[in-house]
């Protein structure tokens, strides 16, 4: 089993590093992942989802250090959340930048929605590739299917690689905007708002 997981990690990393768009299981839903260093591939991801181009893509990273390398400003509130028991996990934080992005692919953005997933296979990929743009694997405005077959039917075209992780019980992440003071829960997912508030008021 370990060998299978290791082989899958190698497959995913190889595809992403060549500009591939990959359907990959995450700890919340199936995701569409792409390396931000390939602008044409990022455009393909938008086309696969038929996602409006003005809607920025969320980011996944392996750890807080990788987050800081992007130039983000991690406030006290954001750090409390990121150092909580819910990270890695289904907690997305929206944060701004200290003095602007440190990487060209974030130019023009004022904030990013960023998450550290609680999935060993995906974390291994992220440690090898660096930050990835990862969004739910569905047509824009539709629910994310629980299995790869339905995802491939729904997308507008074919990804370069699809990893079948079986049926995933879809759970939405909780999104907290930490650019606001006080921070605001913008989407209550699997982590209740009361739990977020408890962490922030410790």
Check residue 58 and give its pLDDT: 98
Q: How much is the average pLDDT of 171-187?
A: 95
**For residue 1, is pLDDT > 70?**
no
Q: Any idea of the CA torsion for 51, 180, 110, 32, to the nearest 10 degrees?
A: -30
Check residue 169 and give its pLDDT: 86
123 confidence band (pLDDT: 50, 70, 90)? very high
Please tell me whether residue 49 adopts helix, strand or coil conformation.
Answer: helix
CATH number of the domain located at residue range(s) 2-200 in this protein: 3.90.870.10
d(CA 100, CA 140): 29
d(CA 54, CA 35): 19
Task: Tell me the β-bridge partners of 92.
Answer: 175
User: Residue 139, Cβ neighbours under 10 Å: how many?
Assistant: 18
In the chain, alpha helices (H): 2-17, 39-49, 64-68, 76-82, 120-129, 148-154, 193-200
* pLDDT tens digits, one per residue of 61-70: 999 999 999 9
């Amino acid at each position: 089993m370990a060998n299978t997981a290791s082989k899958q990690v190698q497959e995913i990393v190889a595809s992403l590093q060549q500009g591939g768009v990959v359907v990959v299981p995450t700890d919340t839903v199936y995701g569409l992942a792409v390396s931000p260093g390939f602008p044409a591939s990022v455009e393909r991801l938008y086309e696969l989802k038929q996602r409006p181009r003005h809607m920025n893509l969320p980011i996944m990273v392996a750890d807080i250090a990788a987050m800081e390398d992007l130039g983000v400003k991690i406030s006290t509130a954001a750090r409390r959340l990121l150092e909580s028991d819910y990270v890695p996990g289904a907690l997305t934080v929206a944060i701004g930048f200290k003095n602007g992005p440190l990487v060209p692919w974030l130019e023009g953005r004022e904030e990013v929605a960023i998450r550290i997933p609680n999935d060993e296979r995906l974390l291994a990929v992220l440690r090898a590739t660096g930050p990835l743009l990862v969004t739910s694997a569905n047509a824009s405005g539709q629910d994310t299917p629980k299995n790869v077959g339905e995802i491939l039917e729904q997308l507008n075209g074919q990804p370069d690689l699809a990893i079948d992780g079986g049926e995933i019980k879809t759970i939405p992440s909780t999104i907290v905007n930490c650019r606001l003071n006080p921070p605001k829960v913008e989407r209550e997912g699997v982590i209740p708002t009361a739990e977020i508030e408890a962490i922030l008021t410790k």
